[in-house]
Amino acid sequence: MAVRIDGRKETVRLIGIDTPETVHPTKPVQCFGPEASAFTKSLLPEGTRLRVVRDAEARDAYERLLAYLYVVSEKNDDVFVNLELVRLGYARPFPFPPNTTHSDDFTQAAWEARNAGRGLWVTCS
């Protein structure tokens, strides 16, 4: 995913989660990938104001910015994008030390999503 920071386009890797593949050059489209992609696009339409929070490492081996993203709301109820994707069943937790600040939150959200039968937990085995 790409975001603009100080006028520069940055490719971002959401920390701590893994969504099903849809655009990988050597892998097929994975179960629930199109749904996860569509939901993410609906959550982050172009021009969405975001707060970008880093963890221990700034970038991955592909030079993507590693980030927790929050949709900024004027009502002060920012949406934590990484967590929302897991909570609704569009992503699985993917801890990647040392960037593990929210690992427990993601694990709990995945457990709840699985038990509630949300998203990929129902559709994909």
Is 64 known to be catalytic?
Answer: yes
CA–CA distance, 68 with 52 (Å, rounded to integer)? 6
Domain boundaries, the chain: 2-115
Is 87 known to be catalytic?
Answer: no
Q: Does domain 2-115 have CATH number 1.10.3720.10?
A: no
Nearest by Cα to 100 from 19, 18, 16: 16
Which pLDDT value is given to residue 74?
82
Which among 13, 54, 59, 114 is annotated as catalytic?
A: 13
32 near 20, Cβ under 8 Å?
Answer: yes
Which among 54, 59, 64, 114 is annotated as catalytic?
A: 64
Render pLDDT for 76-93 as a digit per residue (tens, 0 to 9).
789 999 999 999 999 999
CA 117 to chain centre: 19
Is 21 known to be catalytic?
Answer: yes
Which among 10, 21, 35, 112 is annotated as catalytic?
A: 21
CA–CA distance, 19 with 40 (Å, rounded to integer)? 10
Query: What is the dihedral angle through the alpha carbons of 31, 88, 73, 71, rounded to the nearest 10 degrees?
Result: -30
**pTM listed for this prediction:** 0.93
